[in-house]
Structure 1
Amino acid sequence: MSTTEIHAEHTIAEHEHGTDCGHEAVQHEDHVDYVHGTHHHAAHGDHYDEHESVAEHTTQEHAHGADCGHEAVPHDDHVDYVHDGHKHAVHGEHYDEH
Protein backbone atom coordinates (compact mmCIF):
# COMPACT_ATOMS: atom_id res chain seq x y z
CA MET A 1 0.00 0.00 0.00
CA SER A 2 1.33 3.38 -0.92
CA THR A 3 0.59 6.12 1.56
CA THR A 4 1.57 9.70 2.00
CA GLU A 5 1.79 11.48 5.27
CA ILE A 6 -0.04 14.71 5.96
CA HIS A 7 0.63 16.36 9.24
CA ALA A 8 -2.77 16.92 10.81
CA GLU A 9 -2.19 15.82 14.36
CA HIS A 10 -4.53 13.96 16.67
CA THR A 11 -3.30 13.34 20.18
CA ILE A 12 -3.05 9.85 21.54
CA ALA A 13 -5.02 11.12 24.56
CA GLU A 14 -8.01 11.77 22.24
CA HIS A 15 -8.11 8.13 21.07
CA GLU A 16 -5.56 5.38 21.59
CA HIS A 17 -5.26 3.02 18.64
CA GLY A 18 -4.60 -0.63 19.39
CA THR A 19 -5.96 -4.15 19.01
CA ASP A 20 -9.35 -3.31 20.57
CA CYS A 21 -9.88 0.25 19.27
CA GLY A 22 -12.24 -0.71 16.43
CA HIS A 23 -10.03 0.56 13.59
CA GLU A 24 -8.41 -1.75 11.03
CA ALA A 25 -4.63 -2.13 11.50
CA VAL A 26 -2.49 -2.04 8.33
CA GLN A 27 1.24 -2.71 8.12
CA HIS A 28 3.14 0.27 6.67
CA GLU A 29 6.84 -0.49 6.30
CA ASP A 30 8.25 -0.68 9.87
CA HIS A 31 5.11 0.37 11.75
CA VAL A 32 1.34 -0.10 11.87
CA ASP A 33 -1.19 2.45 10.62
CA TYR A 34 -4.82 2.44 11.75
CA VAL A 35 -7.53 3.14 9.18
CA HIS A 36 -9.52 6.11 10.43
CA GLY A 37 -12.16 7.34 7.97
CA THR A 38 -10.49 8.15 4.65
CA HIS A 39 -6.95 8.25 6.05
CA HIS A 40 -4.57 6.29 8.26
CA HIS A 41 -3.12 7.22 11.65
CA ALA A 42 0.49 6.42 12.55
CA ALA A 43 1.76 6.92 16.10
CA HIS A 44 4.45 9.61 16.25
CA GLY A 45 5.51 10.48 19.78
CA ASP A 46 2.50 11.86 21.67
CA HIS A 47 0.35 12.28 18.55
CA TYR A 48 -0.69 10.55 15.32
CA ASP A 49 0.38 11.63 11.86
CA GLU A 50 -2.25 11.14 9.16
CA HIS A 51 -1.39 9.14 6.05
CA GLU A 52 -3.51 9.20 2.93
CA SER A 53 -3.32 6.86 -0.06
CA VAL A 54 -1.38 8.59 -2.85
CA ALA A 55 1.85 8.04 -4.76
CA GLU A 56 5.12 8.41 -2.92
CA HIS A 57 8.28 10.15 -4.10
CA THR A 58 11.39 7.98 -4.04
CA THR A 59 14.79 9.01 -2.77
CA GLN A 60 16.14 8.07 -6.22
CA GLU A 61 14.07 10.87 -7.81
CA HIS A 62 15.64 13.56 -5.60
CA ALA A 63 17.93 13.33 -2.59
CA HIS A 64 16.99 15.91 0.05
CA GLY A 65 19.86 17.23 2.13
CA ALA A 66 21.88 20.29 3.11
CA ASP A 67 22.52 21.36 -0.51
CA CYS A 68 19.30 20.24 -2.25
CA GLY A 69 17.77 23.72 -2.45
CA HIS A 70 14.68 22.95 -0.34
CA GLU A 71 14.02 24.54 3.06
CA ALA A 72 14.82 22.19 5.97
CA VAL A 73 12.28 22.17 8.83
CA PRO A 74 12.91 20.25 12.09
CA HIS A 75 10.09 17.81 12.95
CA ASP A 76 10.42 15.83 16.19
CA ASP A 77 13.42 13.51 15.69
CA HIS A 78 13.98 14.18 11.97
CA VAL A 79 14.06 16.93 9.34
CA ASP A 80 11.34 17.61 6.74
CA TYR A 81 12.09 19.41 3.47
CA VAL A 82 9.57 21.86 1.96
CA HIS A 83 8.87 20.70 -1.60
CA ASP A 84 6.09 21.94 -3.92
CA GLY A 85 3.91 23.26 -1.08
CA HIS A 86 4.27 20.25 1.23
CA LYS A 87 6.97 18.68 3.36
CA HIS A 88 8.96 15.52 2.63
CA ALA A 89 10.40 13.29 5.35
CA VAL A 90 12.76 10.42 4.52
CA HIS A 91 11.09 7.07 5.25
CA GLY A 92 13.23 4.16 4.03
CA GLU A 93 13.63 4.47 0.26
CA HIS A 94 10.82 6.99 -0.19
CA TYR A 95 9.55 10.23 1.29
CA ASP A 96 6.37 10.59 3.30
CA GLU A 97 4.59 13.85 2.59
CA HIS A 98 3.59 15.99 5.55
Structure 2
Amino acid sequence: MPHSDHVDYVHDGHLHREHDGHFDECEPEGHNEHGAHDHAHGDGCGHVAVPHADHVDYVHDGHRHAEHDGHYDEH
Protein backbone atom coordinates (compact mmCIF):
# COMPACT_ATOMS: atom_id res chain seq x y z
CA MET A 1 0.00 0.00 0.00
CA PRO A 2 1.29 3.52 -0.74
CA HIS A 3 2.46 5.32 2.40
CA SER A 4 3.99 8.79 2.29
CA ASP A 5 7.10 8.51 0.05
CA HIS A 6 7.32 4.69 -0.01
CA VAL A 7 5.30 1.46 -0.19
CA ASP A 8 4.34 -0.62 2.85
CA TYR A 9 3.60 -4.34 2.75
CA VAL A 10 1.12 -5.86 5.19
CA HIS A 11 2.45 -9.05 6.79
CA ASP A 12 0.97 -10.77 9.85
CA GLY A 13 -0.72 -7.56 11.03
CA HIS A 14 2.44 -5.47 10.73
CA LEU A 15 3.54 -3.03 8.06
CA HIS A 16 6.94 -3.52 6.48
CA ARG A 17 8.90 -1.30 4.09
CA GLU A 18 11.97 -2.11 2.03
CA HIS A 19 15.12 -0.32 3.16
CA ASP A 20 18.69 -0.91 1.96
CA GLY A 21 18.01 -4.47 0.79
CA HIS A 22 16.01 -5.59 3.83
CA PHE A 23 12.60 -4.90 5.38
CA ASP A 24 11.91 -2.73 8.43
CA GLU A 25 8.72 -2.38 10.46
CA CYS A 26 6.98 0.82 9.41
CA GLU A 27 5.62 2.13 12.67
CA PRO A 28 5.05 5.70 13.82
CA GLU A 29 7.08 7.18 16.63
CA GLY A 30 5.19 9.09 19.29
CA HIS A 31 1.61 10.28 19.10
CA ASN A 32 0.80 12.01 15.81
CA GLU A 33 -2.76 13.30 15.92
CA HIS A 34 -4.40 14.13 12.60
CA GLY A 35 -6.14 17.49 12.87
CA ALA A 36 -9.45 18.53 11.26
CA HIS A 37 -10.96 15.28 10.06
CA ASP A 38 -14.39 15.84 8.52
CA HIS A 39 -15.71 12.27 8.39
CA ALA A 40 -15.59 8.95 10.26
CA HIS A 41 -13.74 5.91 8.94
CA GLY A 42 -15.43 2.52 9.02
CA ASP A 43 -17.21 -0.01 6.83
CA GLY A 44 -18.25 1.65 3.59
CA CYS A 45 -16.36 4.92 4.16
CA GLY A 46 -14.64 4.61 0.78
CA HIS A 47 -11.09 4.25 2.12
CA VAL A 48 -9.00 1.08 2.03
CA ALA A 49 -9.02 -0.75 5.39
CA VAL A 50 -5.70 -2.25 6.47
CA PRO A 51 -5.48 -4.62 9.48
CA HIS A 52 -2.70 -3.34 11.73
CA ALA A 53 -1.79 -5.00 15.05
CA ASP A 54 -4.96 -4.87 17.20
CA HIS A 55 -6.91 -2.32 15.10
CA VAL A 56 -7.69 -1.23 11.55
CA ASP A 57 -6.01 1.67 9.75
CA TYR A 58 -7.67 3.47 6.86
CA VAL A 59 -5.64 4.76 3.91
CA HIS A 60 -6.47 8.44 3.44
CA ASP A 61 -4.49 10.77 1.15
CA GLY A 62 -1.36 8.57 1.31
CA HIS A 63 -1.47 8.23 5.09
CA ARG A 64 -2.89 5.63 7.43
CA HIS A 65 -5.45 6.88 9.91
CA ALA A 66 -6.26 5.00 13.11
CA GLU A 67 -9.06 5.91 15.53
CA HIS A 68 -7.75 6.83 18.98
CA ASP A 69 -9.51 8.46 21.95
CA GLY A 70 -12.12 10.29 19.86
CA HIS A 71 -9.75 11.45 17.10
CA TYR A 72 -7.59 9.94 14.36
CA ASP A 73 -3.83 9.43 14.54
CA GLU A 74 -1.48 9.48 11.57
CA HIS A 75 0.26 6.13 11.19
What band does the TM-score fall into relative to the shorter chain?
0.5 to 0.7
Compute the TM-score of the two structures, normalised by the length of structure 2. 0.57
- 1:49 partner letter: D
Could you list the runs of 4 or more consecutive aligned residues of structure 1 that deviate by over 3 angstroms after TM superposition? none
Match of 1:9 among 8, 29, 34: 34
> Which of these two proteins has the greater Rg computed from alpha carbons?
1
Distance in 2 (alpha carbons) for counterparts of 1:10 and 1:16:
13
CA-based RMSD of the aligned residues comes to 1.9
- 1:22 partner letter: G
Distance in 1 (alpha carbons) for counterparts of 2:36 and 2:67:
9
Give identity over the alignment, percent.
Answer: 52
After superposition, the Cα gap between the structure-2 partners of 1:15 and 1:31, relative to the gap in structure 1 and judged at 3 Å, is: same
Compute the TM-score of the two structures, normalised by the length of structure 1. 0.45
Match of 2:43 among 6, 10, 19: 19
Unaligned runs of 5+ in 2: 1-14, 16-25
Kept after mapping to 2: 8 A contact 1:26/1:34:
yes
User: Aligned ranges for residues 1-98 of structure 1 at < 5 Å?
Assistant: 1=15, 2-4=26-28, 7-10=32-35, 14-51=38-75
Unaligned runs of 5+ in 1: 52-98
1:11 Cα deviation (Å)? 5.5
